[in-house]
Structure 1
Amino acid sequence: MYEADDPRSALSSASANAGPASHGAFGQSTYARYYAEEPQESADRAKSWYTRGQNFVVCYSEVEDGAVFERKGQVDEYVLLIHDPNLSATVEAGGESKEVSGYSITMIPPGDSKVTMHGSGVVVRLITTANEDIAGKVSNPDKYPGDHPHVPAFEAWPMPADGYRIRSYSLDVPDEEGRFGKIFRCTTFMVNVFPEQGARDLSKLSPHHHDDFEQCSLALRGWYMHHLRWPWTANLHDWQEDEHEKCAAPSVCVIPPRVIHTSAPSDPQANVLVDIFSPPREDFSDMQGWVLNADDYPRK
């Protein structure tokens, strides 16, 4: 369903057949509009919203200078995304301390860690649902009464040969023809940060589906129309109406597996979207040159 000039048309999964669907739920979508919702947590110098998928929690925070985020006994590696170039942080973990600049993505080791923010703005942390304290804060627990019927049990990817440590990468990477966004991965997440763009040509949308993983789309700027079409099975009770949801920034859309979807950036001036997957996608990892930090994190 991709246009011929869309880099994703070359993916091994682009024309995959999902096969027969089992009777029962396909799961539910989530639309979290942080601009219209109260934060789940208001602490000194930070307001935070928490939204989950099957394997992950998006922790979106508006911070003031000096805000601190500490993790005690973090189960696995997590991600710190600072899209704002005017914000920075000091990250302490695994016996080391590192100054992290704005417009960057940082992988933080499991165990105890501390992030101290410098400046006021927005910071995003991505943490797996294996961390029960974080999973317990989410606004949408009702969407996950049990394991998703089409998402395999979470399995982390191999750790780097030199072990866990603080690894930070600039997002200031030039666009390259044939590469899809700016993709980074670690053992628990794959994150694709799209360049700022204007409104999308509505004659060139890209409806597609994923057989066995969710997609989380985090809007950081502008507004998006998320279009979702649910599969039909022989069981009429599985059928659902199409969804066409307008979400301004900041917001999150979580799309279940097997649901046909496409998202249209719609502000005429500036739209910024971040796609989040947990664990990393194998098809994106198969594409030579797409994962910008592939040398640091072994392929599953």
Structure 2
Amino acid sequence: MYAASDPRSALNTPAARTNPAPTAYKGAEYARFYDAPPQEVVDGSQTYYARGQNLIVAHTRGKAGLVLSRTNQLDEYVVLLPNRNTPVEVRWNGEGITVDGYCIVVVPAGDSEVHLKGDGEVIRLLTTRADDLVAKCSNAESYIHSDPNVPPFQAWPDPVGGHKLRHYSLDVPPEPGRFGIIFRCSTIMVNFLPGSGPRDITKMSPHFHDDFEQYSLCVAGSYIHYLRWPWISDLNAWRPDDAELCAAPSVAVIPPPAIHTSRSIDPVKNVLVDIFSPPRADFSAKSGWVLNADEYPAPDTLAR
């Protein structure tokens, strides 16, 4: 379903289905952070929370001086700074790093703080093991019942050399045959897609995932997310198609095995970040796609 020029076309290799065929479907979730009240307001800073089965997206429009802290965090999380000129200091276990924006920071489990040194947009990505944040999510009630097509979360191996603060610039030049700008940790994979204008509607890329969610985070411009669920024998479980317009900032939680593709709309600039929790195996199996693969090994069962 990909164009021949799309690097993801190499992922379409025949494979036998190993997970059970679906008998029920979960609907998609759309959190438009620009069109709803925030879940937290602290001295003019606003934070919005939304979730899927495995991941929480915490989006903060922050003011200088704000401190975003985690106490007894159970696993690694990611701080995404999608814009330049967003000075932030991250502290953990006596360590501290200062970054200027346009990067991601991986923060280990335990107690940590994110200090905003200027106004800006800060996005934290955490697993739903963070019960205190799950309770704050605008769509918490949507997951009273788990998605039947997503297996239980299982973290990937710990990093080589042990846990520490790590940061990765998003200033990565494109390379033929590589898709996006991909980094992973033990819990999360982030694929930062370069900005673009309106999408050529003759080159859409409808595809599906058997058993993992995709979180499509719009940080600039706007997108229409198209979703279609396969028919199964029980007509009661059939779902109508989605065609949802989501501007920045927003997140669409795309459940398996919905067929999906997204169309950028803004005439000047659109930026989408695709997120997976745990990391995505097929992207990880492509040599050179995950830019920090040497620091974060894949499971032994996955050929890299």
TM range (shorter): over 0.9
Match of 2:265 in 1: 266
The yes-or-no answer on 1:2 pairing with 2:31 is: no
What is the one-letter code of the residue matched to 1:3? Answer: A
| Residue aligned with 2:199, SS | coil
The yes-or-no answer on 1:86 pairing with 2:85 is: yes
Distance 1:139 1:13 in 2: 38
Contact 1:212 1:258 in 2 (8 A): yes
User: What's the CA shift string for 1:189-213, capped at 9, x where partnerless?
Assistant: 0000011110100000000000000
Task: Please report how far the alpha carbon of residue 15 of structure 1 lies from its aligned counterpart in structure 2 after TM superposition.
Answer: 7.1
Please give the root-mean-square deviation of Cα atoms over the aligned residues, in Å: 1.4
Distance 1:142 1:31 in 2: 14
Match of 2:137 in 1: 138
Contact 1:45 1:67 in 2 (8 A): no
Distance 2:112 2:203 in 1: 44
Distance 1:243 1:227 in 2: 5
What is the one-letter code of the residue matched to 2:84? Answer: P
What is the one-letter code of the residue matched to 2:272? Answer: L
Match of 1:247 in 2: 246
What is the one-letter code of the residue matched to 1:138? Answer: C
Task: Please report how far the alpha carbon of residue 140 of structure 1 lies from its aligned counterpart in structure 2 after TM superposition.
Answer: 0.6
Distance 1:107 1:85 in 2: 18
User: What's the CA shift string for 1:25-48, capped at 9, x where partnerless?
Assistant: 311111111111111111124200
**CA shift in 2, pair 1:30/1:16, >3 Å:** farther
Give the TM-score, by structure 2 length: 0.95
Distance 2:194 2:37 in 1: 28
Match of 1:110 in 2: 109
Give the TM-score, by structure 1 length: 0.96
Moved over 3 A (4+): 12-20
What is the one-letter code of the residue matched to 2:49? Answer: Y
Task: Please report how far the alpha carbon of residue 13 of structure 1 lies from its aligned counterpart in structure 2 after TM superposition.
Answer: 6.0
User: What's the CA shift string for 1:95-134, capped at 9, x where partnerless?
Assistant: 2111122100000010000110111121100011001001
Match of 2:76 in 1: 77
Task: Please report how far the alpha carbon of residue 162 of structure 1 lies from its aligned counterpart in structure 2 after TM superposition.
Answer: 1.0
Distance 1:14 1:290 in 2: 21
Contact 2:78 2:104 in 1 (8 A): yes
Distance 1:200 1:268 in 2: 9
What is the one-letter code of the residue matched to 1:244? Answer: A
Distance 1:126 1:234 in 2: 37
Using the aligned pairs only, state the percent identity: 53
Match of 1:62 in 2: 61
Contact 2:22 2:149 in 1 (8 A): no
User: What's the CA shift string for 1:196-248, capped at 9, x where partnerless?
Assistant: 11010000000000000010000011110100001100000110111111111
Distance 1:244 1:281 in 2: 25
Distance 1:220 1:18 in 2: 35
Task: Please report how far the alpha carbon of residue 12 of structure 1 lies from its aligned counterpart in structure 2 after TM superposition.
Answer: 5.3
What is the one-letter code of the residue matched to 2:4? Answer: A
Match of 2:32 in 1: 33
Distance 1:75 1:30 in 2: 25
Task: Please report how far the alpha carbon of residue 145 of structure 1 lies from its aligned counterpart in structure 2 after TM superposition.
Answer: 1.6
User: What's the CA shift string for 1:70-113, capped at 9, x where partnerless?
Assistant: 11000000000011111021111022111122100000010000
Match of 2:296 in 1: 297
**CA shift in 2, pair 1:77/1:19, >3 Å:** closer
Match of 2:199 in 1: 200
Contact 1:28 1:143 in 2 (8 A): no
Contact 1:13 1:283 in 2 (8 A): no
Number of residue-to-residue matches in the alignment:
299
**CA shift in 2, pair 1:194/1:16, >3 Å:** farther
Distance 1:19 1:281 in 2: 16
User: What's the CA shift string for 1:226-280, capped at 9, x where partnerless?
Assistant: 0000110000011011111111111111011000000011111100000010000
What is the one-letter code of the residue matched to 2:176? Answer: E
Q: How does 1:147-158 map to 2 (within 5 A)?
A: 147-158=146-157
Task: Please report how far the alpha carbon of residue 146 of structure 1 lies from its aligned counterpart in structure 2 after TM superposition.
Answer: 2.3
Match of 1:170 in 2: 169
Contact 1:21 1:233 in 2 (8 A): no
**CA shift in 2, pair 1:17/1:206, >3 Å:** farther
Contact 1:18 1:211 in 2 (8 A): no
Match of 1:22 in 2: 22
| Residue aligned with 1:36, SS | coil
